[in-house]
Chains A and B, each alone.
Chain A
C-alpha cells in the first residue's frame, strides 16, 4: 500500500473531517484534521492502516492567526510512510481529545504540551505537571507571547 491509496482510504472513511491533504512524496503525507475527530482517525490509522508508532506529538503557536496547531507525527513498522496530522485549535481555549487510549506513549507528550502551551487534553488519564517547576505552572512558556524571560543576565560577559 502506498501513500496515495492510504490517503484515499482515509479520506473516504472520514469525509469532511480530513482536509488540505498533500502527498509530498511516496513516504510523506501531510493532512489537517478536525480536532474533535482526531481520536477516531488515530484509531482507524492504527487498526486498519498499520500506523503503529506515534513518533511525536507537539504544538505550534501562531499568534498572528490566533491559532495553536497540535501536530501528530505517526509512523509505521510495516511500511515507510510517515503521516503528519495537524489539528487547528483556537488560541483562547485550546481543547482537544486525548489520543492516549490509542497510542499510550502520547501520555507524556500531552502532559508536556499541556504545560508548555496550555493545550487542554480532554479525557487524558493523568494530566499532572511533568517538566516545569511549580511556580511556573500556568505560564505556558513556549507560547510566542511569553514575557517571563530573564532580562538581567550574563553580567560576567559584559
Chain B
C-alpha cells in the first residue's frame, strides 16, 4: 500500500511559483469574510442543491446506496448524483463496516474529496459496528474519525431513508449547522 502523505494546503512552502498575471493566495480570508455575511446563505443554497456523493459500496448497505443513485428513485431531481471519482464528490457515504484494513483507503478517499464535504453514516455497521460490534477486525467509533453529519439506522436502511438523510443534510447546510464547514 502506498504511503499517504498529510495534506497541508495552507502551507506557504507548498505554493507553486508565481504565475504571470495570476494572483495566488494561500489564505482563506475571502471565504472567512463571506461566512459572516448574507452571501453565505446564497452559497449554501447552491451547495445544498448539488450534493454529489461517492459510490463506494462497502457492505450490504452498498446495494441500497447503488439503487438510490439509479433511475427508479431519480435523485437527480434533488441534485444528488452518484460520482465515481472522489474528486467530484461532496458527500462521503460510509455504507458498511469499516475494517481496520479498509480504514486507510477510506481516509484516503476522504482526503481526496475537495471541501466543502460532508459524511453520512449509512447503516448500523457504520454507526456502531452492528453485528461486528467488538470484532477484532473492525474499526470502532467512526464518528471520532470522520465528522459525521447524519446517521441513518437500519440493517440495511431503505433507499427512501438515504434520500431522507440527504434532505436532513440539506436542512443542516441551510441552517449552517453542518460539520463540513466551520462557521
Contacts and interface: CB of A to CB of B under 8 A. Distances in A.
B128 A153 contact: yes
Interface in B86-117: 99-101
7 contacts: A133-B101, A151-B134, A153-B133, A155-B128, A156-B143, A156-B151, A157-B128
Interface stretch (A6-14, A45-53, A88-96, A142-150): A142-150
Interface residues of A, number: 17
A11 to B, nearest CB: 40
A146 B134 CA distance: 12
Interface of A: 131-133, 135-136, 141, 146, 148-157
Interface of B: 99-101, 127-129, 133-138, 140-141, 143, 151
B136 A146 contact: yes
**Considering residues B136, B137, B138, B140, which has the most beta carbons from chain A within 10 angstroms of its beta carbon?**
B136
Contacts of B151: 156
A141 B101 contact: no
A114 B143 CA distance: 33
A149 B133 CA distance: 10
Contacts of B143: 155-156
